[in-house]
Amino acid sequence: MKKCLIVMILCSCILIIGCGPSTSVNSSQASTDFIGFVTQLENNQVLINDVWFSFDQQTVMRTDHDKKLHKEDIEMGRKVNVTFNGELQESYPRSASADQLIFLTDKQSKTEETVVKLVMSDPRFSQVVIQSIEKNPTGLYSLRFKDLSIDRDVHVVVNIENERVIVPIHTSTK
Strand 94-103 with 60-63, pairing: parallel
Phi, psi angles (nearest 5°) of residue 16? -65, -45
Half-sphere exposure of 30 (CA within 13 A, CB side): 13
pLDDT given at position 115 = 96
- Residues shown for the chain: 174
pLDDT given at position 140 = 95
d(Cα 33, Cα 109) in Å, to the nearest integer?
Answer: 16
Q: How many DSSP H helices and E strands does the chain contain?
A: 2, 10
- List pLDDT tens digits, range 87-146: 778 777 889 999 999 999 999 999 999 999 999 999 999 889 999 999 999 999 999 999
Question: Domains in the chain, start-ordered, CATH in brackets?
Answer: 32-103 (2.40.50.140), 107-166 (2.40.50)
Q: What angle do CA 102, 90, 133 make, to 5 degrees?
A: 50
User: Contact, 68 vs 61, CB < 8 A?
Assistant: yes
d(Cα 75, Cα 57) in Å, to the nearest integer?
Answer: 18
pLDDT given at position 63 = 95
pLDDT given at position 145 = 94
